[in-house]
Amino acid sequence: MHTGHITTPFGRRPAKLALVKEQFAIVASTPSTRVEKWKVFRDVCETRERFGLQDRAIAVLDALLTFYPDTQLDASNGLVVFPSNAQLSVRAHGITESTLRRQLGALVDVGLIQRRDSPNGKRYAHRSRDGEIEKAYGFDLSPLLTRSTELALLAQDVAAERMRFRRAKEALTICRRDVRKLITAAIDEGAPGNWGHVETVYIGILGRHPRYPDRNQVEITLSEMELLRDEVINLLEMHTETENMHGNASRDDRHIQNSKTESINEFEPSSEKEQGENVPKEPHAKSVAGTETKAKLEQTRAFPLAMVLRACPQIADYGPGGGIAHWRELMIAAVVVRSMLGVSPSAYEEACSAMGPENAAVAMACILERSNFINSHGGYLRDLTKRTLRGEFSLGPVLMSLLKANGGEGRRAG
């Protein structure tokens, strides 16, 4: 039973069941608990926004605590303070009485203090002959003692949330700066790309960002801005890779021109049934079809497997069981090499679509042989794919060059 511990407010203020429930909780709390009053006050200051309290309510709570004589809140010594409104107003930096009443009501409503009203509504105390307080009417600070652990944990959560918010804003500031400067550099230096559209997207993201955002809104904007930054970096990386590939391609063309050219037809199968088999040498054709026709022909006609393995012996190390016996094993090895060299799946799929799966595997074998001379393997393969689609590239001369470089010797199939 809690008879004698529950009080109702004086005058026209109604008694609410929520206040009764809070009084039950205070009575059920451990009476021997003690806590430093200013530590609790600091926790309330940290969490005031969670309670919806204004700064003036905090000033009133500060004033109430100054009327408690001890530095620690201790239930055994009584936790009721009974200053007059005039005294409270002075210690709360001179706020008006109407504001004082309103902020006291706010502190009561959020459960940080309780009213202990006298029969006539005045605040006073009955003292013994020794001067000790026997009964006091005023404001009870027991909720601060009861909820001290809750307030401490809530203050830690608020501090962590504030830290996350600050770091999210810092990350957004850096990301915005990166995107803005990268777009400007790309436009100023004439990098290929639809930079006008990119800038429009950038402005749109900032336009959706609230003027006074919360953490969730900052993180949403940050996520969108990071995606845009990744896209800008990808465009610039592709531009850089293209420049590197053009330099490598020029060196490759000079190497092919210096080598003694031979007809590619002696290494190509005459039909699909003869893929992977050696065929007799055909007469040298003085009239050769255009490069575009040759590129389309190579999409459906792979080179003899034995010749590929002689020209590119390193690919055999990546076949199932350390060897390659047929075209399927070559294509399996090419996928392994693609992953090892950092070529993206999309780049390899595009090569397969443009060249055919067998020739794409041959291209990967060639790239593996010359990997030490290629800066970006994925970019190099994409460039070969584009040149193939334009009819400007054929695997034949590359294989011939590698075959001569290896002296015609290498690992044979099977």
Q: How many of the other CB atoms lie within 10 Å of CB of 232?
A: 23
Q: What is the mean pLDDT of residues 310-324?
A: 87
Identify the weakest region by mean pLDDT among 49-58, 99-108, 348-357, 400-409. 400-409
Question: What tokens appear for 320 in the block?
Answer: 């199932």
Please tell me the predicted confidence (pLDDT) of residue 162.
Answer: 92
Ranges of H-type helices in 110-214: 142-146, 148-188, 195-208
More confident residue, 94 or 6: 94
Please tell me the predicted confidence (pLDDT) of residue 178.
Answer: 93
Q: Which tens digit of pLDDT belongs to each residue from 164-207?
A: 999 999 999 999 999 999 998 888 888 888 888 888 899 999 99
- Distances in Å between the alpha carbon of 304 and those of 137, 240, 337, 407? 103, 35, 20, 17
More confident residue, 143 or 133: 143
Paired residues of 140 in beta bridges: 80, 114
More confident residue, 155 or 410: 155
Q: What is the mean pLDDT of residues 351-379?
A: 90
% of the chain with per-residue pLDDT over 90: 40
> Nearest 5°: CA angle at 129, between 124 and 135?
30
More confident residue, 262 or 163: 163
Question: What tokens appear for 381 in the block?
Answer: 């393969």
Paired residues of 319 in beta bridges: none
* Mean pLDDT estimate for the chain: 79
157, pLDDT greater than 60: yes
DSSP 235: H
- CA 205 to chain CA mean position, Å: 17
Rounded to whole angstroms, the Cα distance separating 154 from 46 reads 8
Place of tokens 């393997």: 377
pTM: 0.49
Please tell me the predicted confidence (pLDDT) of residue 295.
Answer: 44
- Distances in Å between the alpha carbon of 48 and those of 56, 60, 110, 158? 11, 13, 10, 10
300, pLDDT greater than 70: no
Residue 34: φ, ψ to 5°: -135, 145
Q: Which among 254, 255, 249 has a CA at the least distance from the CA of 390?
A: 249
HEC profile for the chain?
A: CCCCCCCCCCCCCCCCHHHHHHHHHHHHCCCCCEEEHHHHHHHHHHHHHHHCCCHHHHHHHHHHHHCCCCCEEEHHHCCEECCCHHHHHHHCCCCCHHHHHHHHHHHHHCCCCEEECCCCCCCEEEECCCCCEEEEEEEECHHHHHCHHHHHHHHHHHHHHHHHHHHHHHHHHHHHHHHHHHHHHHHHCCCCCCHHHHHHHHHHHHHHCCCCCCHHHHHHHHHHHHHHHHHHHHHHHHHHHHHHHHHHHHHHHHHHHHCCCCCHHHCCCCCHHHCCCCCCCCCCCCCCCCHHHHHHHHCCCCCCHHHHHHHCHHHHHHCHHHCCCCHHHHHHHHHHHHHHCCCCHHHHHHHHHHHCHHHHHHHHHHHHHCHHHCCCHHHHHHHHHHHHHCCCCCHHHHHHHHHHHCCCCCCCCC
Up-side HSE of residue 386: CA atoms within 13 Å toward CB?
10
394, pLDDT greater than 70: yes
Place 78 in a pLDDT band, splitting at 50, 70 and 90. Answer: confident
Rounded to whole angstroms, the Cα distance separating 88 from 101 reads 10
311, pLDDT greater than 50: yes
Place 1 in a pLDDT band, splitting at 50, 70 and 90. Answer: very low
The rounded radius of gyration (Å) of the Cα atoms in the chain is 41
Rounded to whole angstroms, the Cα distance separating 374 from 14 reads 83
